[in-house]
Amino acid sequence: MAAAFQDGILTEASNGGTLNVTAYNSNQQLNNNSNSLLSTLSQLDGIKVHILDTPTFQHTAHLKLTANCAINALATLQNCRNGELIHFNELVHSIVDECCTVLDLDHHSTHLYTKNIINTTALNYNSTHTDIHQRRKPATHTEVEFLNGYIINQARIKGISTPNNQRLYDEFMHKFK
């Protein structure tokens, strides 16, 4: 789910979505305030609320991380909508492969997930694109530092090579200083 905060108003910006929630660890239960908030959110049009166990939440977060690594920096560098990434399919594929290796994700299902995100958001400019091209944020104040940067750091720790993520990250950081 995406949201934007503008003029003091928080607006859901993805035309509906899913809010995935987990307890801090598997031994904890959500408290009454949390349950009340989730109940209220689930009554809003277009928002589905799922309470997930921690491993499922982590897997879902890793899928989203991978899709964002493949989409955000590349579409921003190319100054294009997400759907135009079909012209960069080989690079998208290699970035997803590297993320899958680092995060121990199934390659096939993660490629399908990423392709689905690209297709369902084909007409959108992603949040990083908005940060760079509309808000004029420097590269170090965007998600790319936390997305591709995280993959690169985890790969380094695990002794895994991620040349495509590294090249994309370096080009992004250099271009949008």
State how beta strands 3-6 and 9-12 pair.
antiparallel
Q: Would you put residue 48 in left (φ > 0), alpha (ψ -120 to 50) or beta?
A: beta
Could you tell me the CA-to-CA distances from 82 to 2, 114, 118 in Å, in that order? 15, 11, 6
Among 48, 64, 137, 158, the active-site one is: 64
**DSSP letter assigned to residue 53:** -
Q: Does the active-site annotation cover 64?
A: yes
Compute how many other C-beta atoms are within 10 angstroms of the C-beta atom of residue 46.
Answer: 11
Catalytic amino acids?
Answer: 64
